[in-house]
Each structure stands twice: as structure tokens, then as C-alpha cells.
């Protein structure tokens, strides 16, 4: 349910873009993201930090896109979100010796510390790469191609990277947890 809630504003953004233009789509994205945020708060009585960051950046950069009638703002939002996520992962690891990936998954999965650090670094590098790819596609290719890349390319890359990380995690699970996972 939560993944659908996170993905729905992106689908609405894409559909409205195809029916109208980027400015209408941006308005729809702001409304859908805010609605998802409020629904999440109402349903679960809490909101994840990533969702809070996303709703603020969508509102700010989306608002700037509409106000100045300039789509570059909403295009930058993607890279800024990726940069913030990568920065948080790296700062946590380098300055606080804490893997944020472990903080999110450590209650369900037991892994050695070096594996958590590698996963944390891998996700940070993935976010940096996605941010840089977004800059290239957003500012050197057409708006329509950027929209398709944002919806299908980045989503596909994220799903693929999640799958690769899942395989990596599975290979490093302790034998008893690995056996429990395969029995379920």
C-alpha cells in the first residue's frame, strides 16, 4: 500500500503531462503528493522523513515551476532529492559511523557490519548516478524524453538496483536466517 502511495503522484504527473503540459502536470504532482502525504499521516499517524522531504521539495520546486512558468525547476527537483538522499547516507556513514540502510532494514535483517556499509555506500552511489543521469537527460534531451526517463527509466533503474541489492543481501544472510527466508 505504501509503495503505491509513493508511486501514485508520479503516475498522475505522467498522465496529466501526456494530456496537457508540464505546468498542468506539475500542479497535479503537487496536489497528488500533498494528498498522499496527508493520507499517509491520517492512515498511519506518521510520515517517513523521505516523504516529508519529497513533499516539501515538490511544493517548492513545483511552485517555482508554475510561478515562473519554467520547467527547469521541477527537473532540478529530481536531482536535488537524489543528492539529499546520497548526502544523508554518506554523512551518516562517514561522520556518525551509522548506516542509514541498516537503520531502515536492521530490524528485519541481520547482516555483518561490512555488508551494511557496502549497501549504504552502494545506495549513495546509485543516488548520485541517478542525479547525474537526470541532469543529462533533463537538460540535454527533450522534455518528453525526460518525462519518460523520469517515470520509466529511473523507476526501472531503482527496481533493478533494489533487486541486485536483494540478491547481495540474500548471499550474506546468516545461514539460519537464510533458511527461514526460503521456507516462507
pLDDT in tens, 105-132: 878 888 999 999 999 999 999 999 999 9
Q: How far is CA 151 from CA 21, 46, 65, 91, in A?
A: 15, 26, 18, 28
Instruction: For residue 126, give every residue at least 6 positions away whose Cβ sits within 8 Å of its Cβ, in sequence order, or none.
Output: 157, 161
C-alpha cell at 168: 547481495
Question: Is the pLDDT assigned to residue 181 strictly greater than 70?
Answer: no
Calpha distance 78→75 (Å, rounded): 6
- pLDDT tier at 47, thresholds 50, 70, 90: confident
> Taking a C-beta distance cutoff of 8 angstroms, is the pair 62, 27 a contact?
yes
* pTM summary value: 0.88
Calpha distance 172→92 (Å, rounded): 22
Q: Residue 182: its pLDDT value, please? A: 54
Residues 45-59 as b/e (b if ≥16 CB within 10 A, e otherwise) read eeeeeebeebbebbb
What number of other Cβ atoms are within 10 A of residue 90's Cβ? 18
Q: Residue 184: its pLDDT value, please? A: 55
C-alpha cell at 43: 492512515
Q: How far is CA 120 from CA 39, 81, 89, 104, 167, in A?
A: 30, 17, 6, 11, 15
- Its sign, for the CA torsion 184, 126, 10, 105, is positive
> Taking a C-beta distance cutoff of 8 angstroms, is the pair 131, 79 a contact?
yes
Calpha distance 171→173 (Å, rounded): 6
Calpha distance 86→127 (Å, rounded): 6
Q: Which of 19-23, 36-40, 166-170, 179-183 has the lowest mean pLDDT?
A: 179-183
Q: Residue 108: its pLDDT value, please? A: 86
Specify the higher pLDDT residue, 63 or 47.
63
Amino acid at each position: 500500500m505504501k509503495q503505491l502511495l509513493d508511486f501514485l503522484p508520479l503516475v498522475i504527473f505522467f498522465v496529466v503531462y501526456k494530456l496537457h503540459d508540464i505546468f498542468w502536470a506539475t500542479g497535479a504532482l503537487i496536489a497528488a503528493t500533498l494528498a498522499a502525504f496527508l493520507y499517509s499521516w491520517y492512515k498511519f499517524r506518521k510520515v517517513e522523513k523521505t516523504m516529508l522531504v519529497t513533499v516539501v521539495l515538490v511544493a517548492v520546486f513545483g511552485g517555482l515551476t508554475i510561478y515562473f512558468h519554467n520547467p527547469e525547476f521541477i527537473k532540478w527537483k529530481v536531482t536535488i532529492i537524489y543528492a539529499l538522499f546520497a548526502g544523508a547516507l554518506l554523512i551518516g556513514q562517514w561522520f556518525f559511523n551509522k548506516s542509514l540502510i541498516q537503520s531502515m532494514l536492521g530490524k528485519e535483517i541481520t547482516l555483518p557490519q561490512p555488508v551494511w556499509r557496502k549497501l549504504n555506500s552502494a545506495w549513495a552511489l546509485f543516488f548520485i548516478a541517478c542525479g547525474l543521469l537526470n541532469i543529462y537527460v533533463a537538460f540535454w534531451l527533450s522534455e518528453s524524453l525526460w518525462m519518460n526517463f523520469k517515470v520509466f527509466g529511473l523507476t526501472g533503474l531503482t527496481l533493478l538496483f533494489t533487486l541486485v541489492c536483494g540478491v547481495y543481501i540474500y548471499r550474506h544472510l546468516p545461514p539460519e536466517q537464510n533458511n527461514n527466508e526460503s521456507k516462507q
